[in-house]
Amino acid sequence: MKYISNRILGLLMLTTLLACEPEKDFLAKVNPNQITTEIFFKTESDAVSAVNAAYSPLQSGYLYHNSYFNMHDVGIEMLPNSNMPGGWHISTYSYDATHQTVRNVWRGYYQIIGRANYALQNIAVMENLDENLKQTLLGQAYFLRGYAYFELGFHYGRVPIILELPDNSEDAGVPRSETELEVYQQAIDDLNEAIDRLPVAYDDPFDVGRATRGAAVGVLGKLYLYMASPGVGLDSDGYQKAATQFARLVEGGEFSYALVDDYLDNFTWFNENNQESLFEIQYTDGFGTNPFGWADHDRLSNTEGTNRARTFGYLTWFNAYMNPTFVDRFQDEDPRLRYTAYGPPTPANPDPITIFDGVEYDREDWVARKYGRYDYIPASQENGDSPINFRVLRFADVLLMYAEALNEQGSSPQAIALINQVRSRPTVDMPALSTALSQAETREAIRNERLWEFGLEQKRRKDALRWGAEFAEQEFDVAGIEAFDYGIHRYLPIPQEEIDFNQSLTEADQNPGY
């Protein structure tokens, strides 16, 4: 079930963000049917709707409906089939600043920022709003903006930092930040504001899925971990800061997150927002009739699902298949390979995998299973939007990031204990690692465990990049992607349309190599 209503008129945001100053003529009249700031922020419902609108881009084709998972999952973990549109993925590493996915991800996160700014600027001055609700809504807006700046900083480097709405189109051009650190610092500031305002949980079941304090703590810990990682290198104390945040989630008693027994419960639509989940992108079915409004999930006519299942489904669009080099890196007895992908029988698993109604998987290659529904419904029903939520941050990730932060500070035995928690999940049940591993061996164990645990969850490409040039070059070489060049592809290009239309940017602002 998904409870966040994102049915917000796109016209509201468009009117607010793009409108010029109104004519100051004494004959000018106000259209009572047009939504404006002056008549909108009057009720509790108005404030909630404004924050809901800031969640909506996460669900759109710019991000988790299509572009984001294609950008990250196709490459190291999957390879594109010939029928996959070239604009949907970047796995050939021949893209430039006009590439559709490069543009979409940028658009999606700046939509979140613009809408969060709109909510923050107006909700803060509402006088007739319950104070607890006001602070919670502001906390959600801060969380979304901070999350967006974290993602933009990691993917694009120095980006424009926009914290308030422009008064008119002439004020809309904002230059890139002077440093990448400024972008991360803005995300830190926003996430701390969110932590101060957000609840641990919501009392009303219709609020399930909104950002919580635990989500903000988890993202902040992840941000510090990235800042300390060799491929970012912005904070030498980042590992310690990350560990402090993760300890709150794992050891402090403030939160009650835990691993679910069944690994697959993290990727179905019938056990969403469970005890392992810190933050999910909410999807559902049964709403809307237009499954192709991918770039805009605000309109009432558009469906509220994701394109993921049919994109990779081998009985539907089958746009990509598992990279054999990724499959080969799993131990045969690790059940997470078969939770992630369908494949042929192997020595450790001699029986064929079956899907809905006992149909056997009879192909010789490996194809995506995670976030699909072939196990539960006829294949013919999968050729539509999927209602399965994307788990952006789950407790297994927290445990392994905490292990990484501790290991990099020399606490390898503690780190190994955390890895073993993930390995001992009842439906995984892999042998425990020895606590006598060296720091280097533990580092390798963490990196391998992340590959096995988070396949097709938009993490491996980011992990490879943040672990630095040497690791990334090796990772992409193993994956058979010869065109990858860390000196160029560490960052995405600034979208050409942004350079063309932002008056404060020139071609000199483009990232190196593009």
* Whether residue 13 has pLDDT greater than 60: no
Separation of alpha carbons 467 and 471, rounded Å? 6
Residue 32: Cβ-neighbour burial (10 angstroms; 0-12, 13-18, 19+)? exposed
| The CA-based dihedral angle spanning residues 451, 452, 458, 461, taken in that order and rounded to the nearest 10 degrees | 20
Average pLDDT rounded to a whole number, residues 283-305:
66
**DSSP structure class, residue 292:** T
Residue in 425, 473, 477 with CA at minimum distance from that of residue 452: 425
Kindly indicate the confidence band of residue 117, based on its pLDDT and cuts at 50, 70 and 90: very high
Q: Is the pLDDT assigned to residue 10 strictly greater than 60? A: no
pLDDT at 9: 36
pLDDT above 80: residue 286 = no
Ordered alpha helix ranges (H), 336-438: 336-340, 395-407, 412-423
Please indicate whether residue 13 or residue 374 has the higher confidence score (pLDDT): 374
| Confidence bin at 383 (pLDDT 50/70/90) | confident
Q: What is the pLDDT of residue 291?
A: 60
Higher pLDDT, 381 or 211: 211
Structure tokens belonging to residue 35:
């939504």
| CA angle centred on 70, ends 65 and 75, rounded to 5° | 165
Of 360, 385, 14, nearest to 169 by C-alpha is 14
- Residue 457, pLDDT above cutoff 80: yes
Q: What is the sign, positive or negative, of the torsion defined by CA atoms of 169, 171, 175, 177?
A: negative
Q: Which tokens belong to 359?
A: 């149909």
The answer on pLDDT for 20 being more than 80 is no
pLDDT tens track for 39-75: 899 999 999 999 999 999 999 999 999 999 999 999 9
| 140 vs 173, residue with greater confidence | 140
Query: Tens of pLDDT along 207-239?
Result: 999 999 999 999 999 999 999 999 999 999 999
Distance separating the N- and C-terminal Cα atoms of the chain:
43
At 21, the pLDDT band (50, 70, 90 cuts) reads very low
